[in-house]
């Protein structure tokens, strides 16, 4: 039986750490990346109440009020000492 190719996952404009699941800490993004050696994960700092970093969260979830969402991301980045990608900083 021939295996079907999995669809490519969308990618955000970030540079992921590409860590295996076992190496992820509790505050690291779990957005998956396909790799020849298996699935790796983003690993950037995530929201405490979500599974993803701000860029992957925005990629995965529909945001009703983009202005309010951007302000939230900027506040999160400032509080965490992180830099936002150009798509989120605008």
| pLDDT given at position 48 | 77
State how far the alpha carbon of 20 is from the alpha carbons of 11, 13, 33, in Å: 17, 20, 10
Cβ atoms of 51 and 36 closer than 8 Å: no
Interval 49-70: pLDDT, tens: 889 998 888 888 766 655 566 6
How far apart are alpha carbons 20 and 31 in whole angstroms?
11
The mean per-residue pLDDT over the stretch 1-28 comes to 79
How far apart are alpha carbons 8 and 87 in whole angstroms?
21
pTM of structure: 0.60
């Amino acid at each position: 039986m021939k295996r079907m190719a999995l669809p490519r996952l969308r990618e955000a404009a970030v540079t992921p750490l590409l860590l295996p699941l076992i190496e992820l800490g509790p505050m690291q993004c779990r957005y998956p990346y396909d790799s020849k050696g298996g699935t790796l994960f983003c690993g950037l700092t995530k929201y405490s109440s979500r599974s993803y970093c701000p860029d992957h969260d925005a990629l995965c979830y529909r945001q009703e009020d983009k202005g309010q969402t951007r302000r939230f991301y900027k506040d999160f980045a400032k509080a965490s000492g992180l830099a936002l990608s150009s798509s989120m900083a605008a």
